[in-house]
Amino acid sequence: MPCPTCAFDAAAWSASDLRRTLNDVAPWFRQLAEDAPTDVLAALEPMATQLAALPRGVVDAEAVHTAWQLLGEAGRIRHTMGAGAPTDTGEVVQVSTSPGGVPKLPVAKALVTRRGLRGDKQANRVHHGRPWQAVCLWSADVVDALAAEGHPVGYGSTGENLTLRGLDWRTIRPGVRLHVGEALLETTPYAIPCKKNAQWFLDGRFRRMSHDVAPGTSRIYARVLVEGFVAVGDRVVVEPLVLPAPRQAEEQLVLDA
């Protein structure tokens, strides 16, 4: 069963998930702490120390559980100290899945589980598919701006699952919570663009959507804190004041499907 405090579920993790995730803890925390004020960095320092002490490249569910909790707590600290994303609202303009690879194609709605959208798969499991990469998010406003520059990019083409409109995308950094449809998501690291996305950019310049190159335009991953259905037109609330109640059982999700 998922941890009642952080939703970590060891049963959802493969040995490869566990081993590779511990190698990604440090960059995840660096992105979460990026541009934080001095007082926030001081508050996060004990967590940085604990994360640095975790083993690397081993199969250790308890270590990953610890990292999962600490990274979630770090995001909450940043938010409660006033350095997180402000409350904002938007909407889902496209839900996208694929049997593997890009582009992902539109569907009317999908069940969002802790392993990702039901019916969605990744062709490359080396760099994709871990539970903290369960959902890939991107901004419709960013996509529209890139298309206006002449890039042949569209919703779902670069592999995002949920395309969202109306949010200040510059504020959607790691550690932000979003209530999307019935699901509650928490953002994790920025998605690193790969050469398979070169076809959507002039002269193949796919790093145009990298956070390191153009902050505020990157896709971002999210982990799933509360499972549920998400449909086109659903409301998106950034840092909701009232959180949705967790679903009680996977069986209920199956019945709802």
- The secondary structure of 22-46, three-state, reads HHHHHHHHHHHHCCCCHHHHHHHHH
Q: At what angle do helices 61-78 and 38-52 cross, to 10 degrees?
A: 180
Q: Which two tokens stand for residue 155?
A: 């919703």
Distance between CA 231 and CA 93 in Å, rounded?
A: 9
Least Cα distance to 24 among 118, 114, 129 occurs for 129
pTM of full prediction above 0.85: yes
**Eight-class DSSP state of 48:** H
Q: Which residues contact 211 (CB under 8 A, 6 or more apart)?
A: 31, 190, 217, 218
> Can you tell me the distance from the alpha carbon of 202 to that of 197, in angstroms, rounded to the nearest whole number?
11
Q: In angstroms, rounded to a whole number, what is the distance separating the alpha carbons of residues 50 and 47?
A: 5
Q: What percent of the chain has pLDDT over 70?
A: 93
Query: What is the maximum alpha-carbon separation in the chain?
Result: 49
Q: What is the mean pLDDT of residues 5-15?
A: 87
Other Cβ atoms less than 10 A from the Cβ of 132: the count is 24
CA 115-230-134 angle, to 5 degrees, is 20
Whether the link from the prior residue into 103 is cis, omega within 30° of 0, is: yes
Quick: pLDDT tens for 111-168.
999 989 999 886 555 556 789 999 999 999 999 999 999 999 999 999 999 999 999 9
CATH class of 88-256: mainly beta
Say what the pLDDT of residue 118 is.
94
Length of the chain: 257
First to last CA, the chain: 21
Structure tokens at 14: 């493969």
pLDDT at residue number 256:
46
How far is Cα 222 from Cα 194, in angstroms, rounded to an integer? 18
Buried b (16+ CB within 10 A) or exposed e, 226-248: bbbbbebebebbbebeeebeebe
- Residue 197 pLDDT grade (very low, low, confident, very high; cuts 50, 70, 90): confident
Q: What is the pLDDT of residues 64-95, one digit of tens each?
A: 999 999 999 999 999 999 999 999 999 999 99
